[in-house]
A and B are shown apart, each in its own frame.
Chain A
Amino acid sequence: MTSFAPSSALSPAHGAQHPELAPLTNIDVERIRNDFPVLHQTVNGHPLVYLDSGATSQNPISVMEAEQEYYEQRNAAVHRGAHTLAVEATEGFEAAREKVAAFVGAQTDEIVWTSNATEGINLLAYSFSNASLGLGGPAARRFSLGAGDEIVVTEMEHHANLIPWQQLALRTGATLRFIPVLDDGTLDLLAAADVVGPHTRLLAFTHGSNVTGTINPVAELVALARRVGALVVLDACQTVPHLPVDVKALDVDFAVFSGHKMLGPTGIGALYGKAELLADMPPFLTGGSMITTVDMTQAEFLAPPQRFEAGTQRISQAIALAAAVDYLSETGMDRVHAWEAQLGQRLVAGLAEIPGVRLLGPGLGVERLGLAAVDVAGVHAHDVGQFLDDAGIAVRVGHHCAQPLHRRLGVTASTRASTYLYNTTDEVDLFLATLAEVAPFFGVKQ
C-alpha cells in the first residue's frame, strides 16, 4: 500500500467527512502522483500531462496490486465452490460490494455488479422490457411500459443514457421525450416541469455533464418525478469519482457508475437500485449463478443482487475497484471535490483569456466539475488535440458520446480537458498556455 494518506483516515460511512484533513494542495498532489506510475513518462518529448480522466482515469499502485494479489493468491470462481480458494474469492468479492455500497451510501444488497455504467443502464432497460412482456409476474407490472407511457431523458445525456431508452421505447411502444438544454448548457427547468407529466413513467438524467461540467439539480428533478410517480435513474458516472455521492440522500431509485473512471480497472461498474425495486425486477442476463431451482422448461431466480449477475463475475475487477474506493476514501472525497472544483474554476478563468476560444457550459463562478470543453474558432477539435498531444498533453476531442448536446450548442465537436485528484495547477496552466498557441499555429487570425 503506497497511498500517502495515514491508515487512520480510513473512511467512515461513504468517505465524505474528513474534518481532520486540510484541503489538498499542490504538495499533496505531488505525493498522490507518486502512487500513479503511468503519469511519470514523457510523451512526444514532453512530460505527460493527463487531462482525460473524464474518459478514463489512471490506476494507483494499490489498485494494480490488489488485482495482482487476487490472481496470485485467491483466484477462484465465486458463489459456487466449497474449496478454500473459492471461499476466499467469494469473501473478497462480497467485501468489495460492501465497500462500494458504503462509498455511495447504499445497502450492500442494493449494488449489482455490471461491466460499466452503460451495461447498468442496459440492464434496467432490458429488465423493464422483460417486465413489459409480462415476465416477472404481477410484481413487475410497475416496470411495464406500453403505448401512452413516456420515458423522459435530457438533451445533455451521454449516448449511454439515451440510446438504451430510445431502444426501450421502440420495443415497448412508449414515447421518448426530453428536457431541453439552454444556451448556457444547463437544463431548462421551466420546460422540465411540463415535459415530466402525468404519462411519465421514468426520468433518466445525468448527475454531472461529461461535456459542460454542469452539475444538475437532482432534488428538483426528483421532485418532478415524484409528483407524477415516475422512477428516477441517475447517471452518476461523472460524479461518483469526483465528489461525495449519497444515493439515499439524493433519493434516486437507480444510479449507475463505472469503475475505470474512479481509479479502478476497466470491466467493472455498478448499478444501485432501491432494494424494494430490485426485488420486483425480472432479470436481464440469465444463466448460471442467478437461479434457485431449474428444470427443463423453467427456472426460479435468486434474490438481488445475484439475480442480475449471471455467469462468472468480474472478481478481480471488483476487488481492485474496492482498492480504488479505499484510495479515494483515504484521500477524502470532500477534499477531492474541493481540489477539482478549484482546477475547474482555474480552467474556466484561463480559457476566458484566450481569444477565439468558446467555453461550452457555465462560466466562471458557477459550480462545475473539474473539466472544461471548448470550441476553438477556425480550428477543428481533432487538430487542437493533435497540437496538444505534440506537447504531451492528453485531452479528449470529438463529440464525447454526446452528439445531441453538441448539436444544441452549435458545434459538431469540442476539445475537453478533464482533471482528477492527481492533476496540478501547473498542468492546468500548461494546458491553457499551449491552447493559446493553437490558433496562431493553424494560421487563424483572432
Chain B
Amino acid sequence: MSDLQQLYQTIILEHAKARHGAVELTPLAEAVALGAAGGRRVAESHQINTTCGDEVTLRVSLGVGAETDSAVSDLVWTGEGCSISQASASILTDTLRGLSITSARALLDNFREMLRSRGKIEPDEEILGDAAAFGGVSRYPARVKCAMLPWVAFEAALIDAESH
C-alpha cells in the first residue's frame, strides 16, 4: 500500500460517504429538554479546524438509571470538511455509542496517543476497532487535527453533559 493509500484506507473513504450519525440537529434547547424528560443529559460541542475551516457539531446524550448508568447512550453530529474529519466523526459514533463514560474516555485517550505518535504507535485494533484505520494519519501531522476534530468535540460535550 502506498502512503496515500495508508492514509485514505477504504474504510475511511466509505465512512466519509456513509457519515454514520450525521443528522440535521434539532435546536439544542429542545434536545436538552427532551433528554431531561427521558432521564438523559444532553450537551454538544462545536469545533472548527482553523487551518481549513472544517467544522463539526457533536451532540452527546448520557443515559442515567439502573441499566444505562453513565453510558454514552447516543451520539449525533453535523458538519462539513475533508474525508478524514467526516470519516472520523462517522467512526466515532459507531465506536463510542453504548460505551460507559470510563471506557469512552479510555478509548479517546488511546486514539489521541496513537494519532500524536507520528506513526510510532501501531493502532490497537482490539481497543480502537474501525478507528484503528486512522493509524496512517499519524504520519501526516497536518492531518492529525482533521482526525481529532470530532473527538475533541466529544470530549468537550462529555464534560458539559456530565456537569448538568
Q: Once bound together, how far apart are the Cα atoms of A403 and B13, in whole Å?
A: 27
Q: Once bound together, how far apart are the Cα atoms of A443 and B4, in whole Å?
A: 14
Contact flag A399-B143 (CB < 8 Å), given A383-B83, A390-B3: no
From B4, B53, B83, B86, A390 is in contact (CB under 8 Å) with: B4
Interface of A is mostly: mixed
| A387 and B4 form a contact (CB under 8 A) | yes
| A398 and B52 form a contact (CB under 8 A) | yes
Is B108 located at the chain interface by the 8 A CB criterion?
A: no
Q: Once bound together, how far apart are the Cα atoms of A255 and B108, in whole Å?
A: 50
| A412 and B82 form a contact (CB under 8 A) | no
Chain B residues near A397 (CB-CB < 8 A): 52
Is A380 located at the chain interface by the 8 A CB criterion?
A: yes
| B80 and A386 form a contact (CB under 8 A) | no
Is A44 located at the chain interface by the 8 A CB criterion?
A: yes
Is A381 located at the chain interface by the 8 A CB criterion?
A: yes
Is A442 located at the chain interface by the 8 A CB criterion?
A: yes
Q: Once bound together, how far apart are the Cα atoms of A128 and B84, in whole Å?
A: 45
| B52 and A413 form a contact (CB under 8 A) | yes
Is A31 located at the chain interface by the 8 A CB criterion?
A: no
| A386 and B13 form a contact (CB under 8 A) | no
Chain A residues near B51 (CB-CB < 8 A): 398
Q: Once bound together, how far apart are the Cα atoms of A399 and B52, in whole Å?
A: 7
0 or 1 for each of A78-111: is its CB under 8 Å from B? (1 = yes): 0000000000000000000000000000000000
B141 to chain A, nearest CB (A): 12
Is B146 located at the chain interface by the 8 A CB criterion?
A: yes
Residue in chain A with minimal CB distance to B17? A443
Interface size on B, residues (CB 8 A): 20
| B3 and A382 form a contact (CB under 8 A) | no
| A386 and B81 form a contact (CB under 8 A) | no
| B81 and A382 form a contact (CB under 8 A) | yes
From A44, A380, A399, B83 is in contact (CB under 8 Å) with: A380
Contact flag A403-B4 (CB < 8 Å), given A380-B81, A442-B83: no
0 or 1 for each of A394-431: is its CB under 8 Å from B? (1 = yes): 00011100010000000011000000000000000000
A360 to chain B, nearest CB (A): 15
| B143 and A386 form a contact (CB under 8 A) | yes
Q: Once bound together, how far apart are the Cα atoms of A383 and B84, in whole Å?
A: 8
Chain B residues near A44 (CB-CB < 8 A): 3
| B146 and A382 form a contact (CB under 8 A) | yes
B1 to chain A, nearest CB (A): 13
Chain B residues near A443 (CB-CB < 8 A): 13, 17
| A382 and B54 form a contact (CB under 8 A) | yes
B residues adjacent to A (C-beta < 8 A): 2-4, 7-8, 13, 17, 51-54, 80-84, 86, 140, 143, 146
A-B contact pairs, 24 of them (CB 8 A): A380-B54, A380-B82, A380-B83, A380-B86, A381-B82, A382-B52, A382-B54, A382-B82, A382-B84, A383-B82, A383-B83, A383-B84, A386-B4, A386-B7, A386-B143, A390-B2, A397-B52, A398-B51, A412-B53, A412-B80, A413-B53, A442-B8, A442-B13, A443-B17
Told that A379-B83, A382-B146, A397-B52 touch, could you supply 12 new A-B pairs with CB distance under 8 A?
Answer: A380-B81, A380-B82, A381-B82, A382-B84, A382-B143, A383-B82, A383-B83, A387-B4, A398-B51, A398-B52, A412-B80, A441-B8
